[in-house]
Structure 1
């Protein structure tokens, strides 16, 4: 059992050791979809979700089932969350079903 616990903690630390990126990056769990990156600007979470839904061919009827999720903080972002992106910003979010 101790081995399993060690394996889990090792994998978690590997995720946190990833190189920091600049700007805001939206990732997808689908392998064939490349990430969407933003280096500057001001966007609401809803605007980012709409663009991600279009990239994934998700209809307007269903895109409200999806949201932006920060895996490091275990945090879901509300549609009215404003992201101000500049050279100091570093966000890696996942577009996924709630």
Structure 2
């Protein structure tokens, strides 16, 4: 699993070193972040499970392990909640946006 941290406020040229292409990969939006903080966590390749992504994001924002199970990934376009064992196939053609 390759992890890439890019903020929505970055320009395309700033994102080249971080993400393979603007909009590529799986993005998990963090709606509660402040204006100066990153707006999403991006994954550009690999096969992480929904649980692995939730734990990764929770660790990055300081949520304790006791509370990891309180979070899940949601796709607002399809109105679908992903179970913890759902595996995402992330490649160069993936353009998925989820909410935590």
1:27 corresponds, among 26, 29, 40, to 29
> For residues 33 and 48 of structure 2, what CA distance do their matches in structure 1 show?
25
Unaligned runs of 5+ in 1: 1-19
Greater radius of gyration (CA)? 1
> For residues 23 and 31 of structure 1, what CA distance do their matches in structure 2 show?
21
Return the offset for 1:31: 2.5
- Residue 72 of structure 1 corresponds to which residue in structure 2? 77
For normalisation by structure 2, the TM-score amounts to: 0.70
Runs of 4+ in 1 over 2 A off after TM superposition: none
* Cα RMSD for the two superposed structures: 1.4
Unaligned runs of 5+ in 2: 1-21
For normalisation by structure 1, the TM-score amounts to: 0.72
